[in-house]
Structure 1
Amino acid sequence: MIKYIKTGLLAASLLAQAFFTQAQLTPATIREYLLQPVLPGHIALPYLRQVKIFYDCYQYRPAWINDDSARTQLLAYLSQSAALGLNDSLYQYTTLQSFRHSTTQLFTVTDSIMAELQLTDACIHFLDELLYGNATPETGYNGLDYTPGCISVATLLAAALQEGNFGSLLQLYENTSPGYIATKSRLGQLLRIQQDSSFHSQRPVSSPAVTCANKPLLYKLWQYGYLTSPIDSLPDDSLKQKLKEVQQLFSLQADGILRPNLMKELNVPVEVRIQQLAKALNTFRWMNCLRQQNKWVVVVNIPSANLLVYECDTVVLESRIVVGKKSTPTPLFITSISEVVMYPYWTVPHSIATRELIPMFALNPRMVAANNFSILNDHGNIVPPTSINWKALKGKNFPYTIRQSTGCDNALGIIKLNFYTPYGVYLHDTPWKILFNTYNRYYSHGCMRVEKIIPLAHMVLEGNAIAMDTILQKGNLLHQQPVTIPATSKIPLLVLYNTSWVDSAAHVRFYPDVYQKQRY
């Protein structure tokens, strides 16, 4: 086994010798070891299958034990884990620490093989998380059965070592999307602040004063990189401008007024912000294969209430959206957009019908017609609302369907994008466009109202968009029926939840944890 030298004369004597001793490794010894049904020495290799693929590609030659340069480069890569939003304590940490501190002793062939394989396992684990993320984003439904893995990490590593470009591996294969790069930069800024000698626990911002006398405010502005020092002295006008910039960081109204909502965001510990940024980085990695394999990918992020359409690494469309409020949250899922419905009916969900509409209709049945609703029985026939005893109806005793007719006043607007999920939600237009001008757009019953629904529908229909434009030009005719147009090709749709995210210009922002999903 690997033995770690800690104290005493024996330690001093051994450390005075070479970095570590080793029994000679050959391809034959490594191959024989890996072909055993159970590896000797109780060695734990979480990525054993990929380790075996690697050595098969590498002709079972030792990659690290006999190569100081490759081993040094591997240790250098792993030392960057925190700046990459990764956790190096998961990568065979004890073995790696023994190499970092020159305390490794390999007395037998088995010792050398175990160390060799643990280094390979650590490298593959690190590269796998660098390429594909260290966690799968929460989704209640994965209709694409998507799992990232467009490149075999084991074969990639073997090729890099064989071709002599292992030292350029991160440069060649790390995510290059602008949003990823900006998020990584913001993470690096906070990590540097955290390691600065001036960084310490600071009392929270509690005063609304935007002056240099408000020391906790100055400290927080320095912490986020808006001041060069926590003791900077600025004129009040300049400080107010800095405050506007930090308000934009938290997606708040940029007016230079220090309100309680901004104080709350400023007082979030920097450790939490680091975890939020790391989560966003790993989300970018996780969805990277999907972006590279499809012409377009639509990504909705709930806390930021925005929609981005990616063409590979480039955002080609951004739209503000309205998402579900806390009591009726928008579900998280992966699916694909299958069709565009022009002038859709809105079939009112049972929960909305019983909680909101029945009490209104019980007070005044004329509200059915006034809001363009129809009442349908079990056979799909329209029932006169005046013939219904609304006051006798309860949640479980409601044998009707409420449907809103087509038109500009329809809750779904004039366009709906269909996709399958078990949740009965859509991307759709809305007659209430004023809500797009608000900052925290959490108002819906779970569906997603899209400000730029027409450009998005054009992308879904691509070669058949003229059919939609023709229908739109005719306008909403009397007794207009819904028109369904199949998507030219199904576009992947991801509905995700990140409290740190970017816009189309790759500006990193922090957002409220509106559904209280984050646990830091």
Structure 2
Amino acid sequence: MKYFKIGWVLLLIMAVAACGRKKGKPRQQEIVKNIRQLDEVVPAQISERLEYIAGNEGMMEDSVPALRLTALQFAYGRHQGAALWSKNGRAGSGVDSMMQWINAAGNYGLNPAHYHAGALNDARERFKAGKEAQKDAALWAKMDVLLTDAFFKMAHHLHYGVAPRDSVTLRKDSLLSDTALSGLLQTALQNGGISAALQQQEPFHPGYLALKEGVHQYQQQYGGIHWDTLPQQYYDTLQFKQQLAARLIKTGQLDSAGFIVTDSVKLKNAVKKFQKEFNIYPDGVAGKRTIQTLNKQPQDWLLQAALNLDRWRKLPDTLPGRYLLVNIPAFRLNVMEDTANVVESRVIVGTPRTRTPILNSVMTNFVLYPYWRVPYSIVFKEMLPQIKKDVNYLYEKNLEVVDHHGNVVSPDSIEWGKLGRNHFPYVLRQMDGLDNSLGILKFNFSNKFSVYLHDTNNRSLFSNSNRALSHGCVRVQQWDSLAMYMIRNDPRPEMRDSVRTWLHNEEQRVYSMTNRLPIYIRYFTAEMREGRLQFYEDVYGEDKTLEKYFR
């Protein structure tokens, strides 16, 4: 055994030394005379495969990249190069469990191909087909290394997600170390607990668990269905109405019982129902956007749900007991307290050109009847050209000019034609009151983007189905409910009445919160809501950016 250990160490050193040197694929067959010889021959075959990965930029022999070569090297080095998943030609109990996870990866928003599903299913079929394959050391080694990488990769993906993390979603525990992965696998194989080990890596957030259940239900209902696509524009013909009705029947918006194509009212109501479910203005007309949404296949929707499971995995393992969540594509704000939804409001978010940023912060105070300091990006792009045409623009927009000393300056005393992006020693400030773009109340939280939550003086926009309309800040329809929630636990019992009085008297006041409220602004285009999967438009194109990691 001593010489065997020394030999394995030498093989491992050779594999590491091969890094950067292009290697041909390892031997695909090595038949032993006796199955009992497999445990002696398989380690050398495993070493060949590690050497191949090292020399091919982390790519495995089935052309799927490994999670990390160092993790594989550590796991096999820890066991002197021996197979982890089999012994003398007999698969361990963990193989069946791991294969079930791989083949059911879609239930978790994962792609089975990322976990070597094709190569592993092929290897298992070959083992079942004949005794010669059962004596093939190369095949056992191939299956072993692929299974080990599949376990490592799935554990990592379930915990941290498939897509790369950014500066906002980066977590302190941003990596399952080689030691942690190896220990997790060793414990799982020894205790027959592959499923338990992988389940423990998943988030426990209610939103994640509900979305995962929605994915499973959707797969059962629509997974094997493919519907015909509709023409790209509406045609008022019998044929088009038949196609439209057939499509709506498949997803339950239209009841086929007793329906006739000439029943325009019933068909229009079915289109409205579909539009409401997909956050499209419910006019009952199958316009361009409605048809595009109707034409998306079940696999497209499942992929969209998978992207959002991945987004949940980017959140911390534990969320605060209460927090505020803004979901940009849903145009909605929720305050959660012990998993209960205590405040909900429609919101208006930034346009695709002036996006509301993804961020984490803590709400500290709110301001009644606030001034609005106009961002310079808006000053130079929108306001200064108008002011140069007519200085009365400032009066029409209720704007005052403030110098760097904080003094209000008369607009008529300024030579506006000489001002521009490179020279503008003023601040434009919109005065408080009902005409203020911030409305009656502004909620402040620290962030580098200078955005905040606020009321608006254009409240009619909350009735729009697409509410990506702002310069980046989040406008809140139920601002008063949010304010009252924030002061409800104030130790000063008179504070609630005080705030009401300030509002009535239109006083400019600042309320500093005694219990600060964590805030998360996030981007979820799918969620489980009211017992069914709800999808939202990818308003900023973020889904398209992520899709490449899931194909």
Structure 1 and Structure 2 fold alike (TM over 0.5) = yes
2:539 is the alignment partner of 1:485? no
Name which of 511, 525, 533 aligns with 1:508.
533
- CA distances 1:449-474 after superposition (whole Å, capped 9, x unpaired): 12233444566667448586355223
How many pairs are equivalent?
494
Aligned equivalents of 1:436, 1:3: Cα separation in 2 = 65
**Aligned partners of 1:456 and 1:22: how far apart in 2?**
71
- Matched with 1:100 is 124
1:65 aligns with 86
Shift of 1:376: 0.8
Cα distance change of structure 1 residues 393 and 219 upon mapping to structure 2, 3 Å threshold: same
Shift of 1:374: 2.4
Which stretch shows the higher mean deviation, 206-215 or 372-381? 206-215
- CA–CA separation in structure 1 for the residues paired with 2:101 and 2:169: 35
Q: Which residue of 2 aligns with 1:120?
A: 148
* Shift in Å, 1:298: 3.3
Aligned counterpart for 1:46 among listed residues 64, 67, 76: 67
State the Cα distance separating 1:400 from its structure 2 match.
0.9
Given candidates 189, 205, 218, the residue that maps to 2:218 is 189
Alignment CA distance shift 1:239-1:316 (3 Å): same
- Asked if 1:386 is matched to 2:412, the reply is yes
More displaced stretch, 474-483 vs 407-416: 474-483
Equivalent runs, 1:41-440 vs 2, <5 Å: 42=53, 44=58, 45-47=66-68, 63-66=84-87, 67-93=91-117, 95-103=119-127, 115-136=143-164, 142=168, 157-167=185-195, 174=202, 177=206, 180-182=209-211, 184-186=213-215, 189=218, 193=222, 195-196=224-225, 199=226, 202-204=229-231, 206-207=233-234, 214-224=241-251, 226=253, 234-235=259-260, 236=263, 238-254=266-282, 256-287=284-315, 289-290=316-317, 292-311=318-337, 315-331=341-357, 333-343=358-368, 344-362=370-388, 365=391, 368-369=394-395, 371-440=397-466
Pick 1 or 2: higher relative contact order, CA cutoff 8 A, min separation 6.
1
AA paired with 1:99? A
RMSD: 4.5
In 2, Cα distance between equivalents of 1:215 and 1:146: 55
- What displacement does 1:384 show? 1.7
Please report how far the alpha carbon of residue 323 of structure 1 lies from its aligned counterpart in structure 2 after TM superposition.
Answer: 0.8
- CA distance in structure 2 between the aligned counterparts of 1:275 and 1:143, rounded to whole angstroms: 21
CA distance in 1, matches of 2:172, 2:517: 15
Judged with a 3 Å threshold, the aligned counterparts in structure 2 of structure 1 residues 232 and 156 are, in CA distance, closer, same or farther, namely farther
Check 1:503–1:113 CA distance in 2 against 1; reply closer, same or farther (3 A cut): closer
Output the amino acid matched with 2:115: Y
Once residues 253 and 282 of structure 2 are traced to their aligned partners in structure 1, the CA distance between those partners, rounded to angstroms, is 15
After the TM superposition, which of the residue ranges 66-75 and 363-372 deviates more from structure 2?
363-372
1:37-76 CA-partner distances (Å, limit 9, x unpaired): x955646542456567878999999652144432011101
The one-letter code sitting in structure 2 at the alignment partner of 1:387 is S
Q: Which moved more, 1:142-151 or 1:469-478?
A: 142-151
- Show CA shifts across 1:320-347 (max 9, x none): 110112332223x222124113123211
Q: Shift in Å at residue 113 of structure 1? A: 6.0
Larger mean Cα displacement after TM superposition, 278-287 or 415-424: 415-424
Separation of aligned partners in 2, 1:115 and 1:212: 53
Summarize deviations over 1:211-254 as a string: whole Å, max 9, x none.
786233134325545569xx987243554443333212211244
- SS of 2:409's partner is coil
Amino acid at match of 1:444: S
8 Å CA contact retained: 2:355, 2:471: yes
Tell me the distance in 2 between the aligned counterparts of 1:97 and 1:258: 44
Q: 1:158 to 1:398 in 2, by over 3 A?
A: same
Change (3 A) 1:136 1:414: farther
Deviations 1:457-508 (CA, angstroms, capped at 9, x unpaired): 5666674485863552232598955525256345142332x4x323753643
- CA–CA separation in structure 1 for the residues paired with 2:79 and 2:491: 51
Asked if the contact 1:131/1:175 (under 8 Å) is kept, the reply is yes
Q: Deviations over 1:343-386 (max 9, x none)?
A: 23211011222333334445654554564432111222111223
TM-score if structure 1 supplies the norm length? 0.77
The SS at the match of 1:443 is strand
For normalisation by structure 2, the TM-score amounts to 0.73
SS at match of 1:24: helix
Deviation at 1:312, TM superposition (A): 6.5
For 2:344, what is the secondary structure of its paired residue?
Answer: strand
1:263-282 CA-partner distances (Å, limit 9, x unpaired) = 23213454433322221222
CA pair 477-72 structure 1, distance change in 2 beyond 3 A: closer
Q: How far is 1:90 from its partner?
A: 1.8
Tell me if structure 1 keeps the 8 A contact 2:324–2:517: no
- 1:442-457 to structure 2, matched below 5 A, reads 442-457=468-483
* 1:134 partner SS: coil
Unmatched tracts of structure 1, length 5 or more: none
Code of the residue aligned with 2:522 in structure 1: it is V
Aligned position for 1:474 = 501
Per-residue deviation at 1:402?
0.9
Question: Could you tell me which amino acid in structure 2 is paired with residue 81 of structure 1?
Answer: A
Contact 1:341/1:483 (8 A) holds in 2 = yes
Q: Is the Cα contact below 8 Å between 1:245 and 1:254 reproduced in 2?
A: yes
